[in-house]
Amino acid sequence: MKFIAITETNYPKVAEIYKLGLETKIATFETQVLDFSTWNKKYLPFCRIALEHNNEILGWSALTKVSNRQVYAGVAEVSIYIHPKYWNKKVGTKLLLELIERSEQNGIWTLQCGIMSDNLASIKLHEKCGFRIIGYREKIGCLNGIWKDNVLMERRSKRIGV
C-alpha cells in the first residue's frame, strides 16, 4: 500500500468511491459527483491523498478551506471516503492519520468535520484519530426529503499553533 496524490488522471477512481459514498445517504448532503475541474477548485492544493494497492484506490481524503479570513488560515475541513470493500480494514485510519500528518506539515492547526449523526463508523474513526465531538447541528440539511443532524468534530494539533 502507498499514498498517492489525487490527480486528474486518477480522479475517475476517486469519483467512483465518492459516488459509492453518495449512495449510502449518510456520507454527504451532496447528490452528484463533481467533475475534476470543480473538485480541483474545491479542495486545497495540498493534502489530496489516496491510498493505493495493486493499482486500486482503496480510499481518499482531502481538505477544504473553512474561510477566506486570514485568522482561519490554519483551519481546514476533512473529507474522507473509503471504498466499501475496504471498510473495517484500517484503510480509514491509515488515510486519516496520514492526512493529519500532512496537514500539520502544511501549517494546519485545526481540522474539523461535520458528520451525519447516523454515520457511526465515521464518528468512531475520527475519535480514534484524535478528534473530539464539539457539538451538534440539529436538522442542518435535508437529503431526499429527510432532515439530518450533524455531529461537529475537531482535532487541534499539538505541534502547530500551540
Our count of domains for the chain comes to 1
- 16, part of any domain: yes
- 47, part of any domain: yes
Separation CA 124–CA 157 (nearest Å) = 19
pLDDT per residue over 133-158, tens digit each?
A: 999 999 999 888 999 999 999 999 99
Residues 109-120: b if buried by 16+ CB within 10 A, e if exposed: bbbbbbbbbebe
- Structural domain boundaries enclosing 25: 2-111
In eight-state DSSP terms, residue 48 is -
In the predicted model, what is the mean pLDDT of the chain? 94
Which residues lie closer than 8 Å to 71 by C-beta, 6 or more apart? none
Report residue 140: phi and psi, to 5°: -75, -25
Sheet holding 132-143: strands in order across? 2-5, 49-53, 56-65, 75-82, 110-116, 146-156, 132-143
Q: What is the pLDDT of residue 160?
A: 86
Q: What is the pLDDT of residue 75?
A: 96
- 84, part of any domain: yes
- 130, part of any domain: no
Q: Which CATH number do you get for residue 84?
A: 3.40.630.30
- 128, part of any domain: no
- 152, part of any domain: no
pLDDT per residue over 42-80, tens digit each?
A: 999 999 999 999 999 999 999 999 999 999 999 999 999
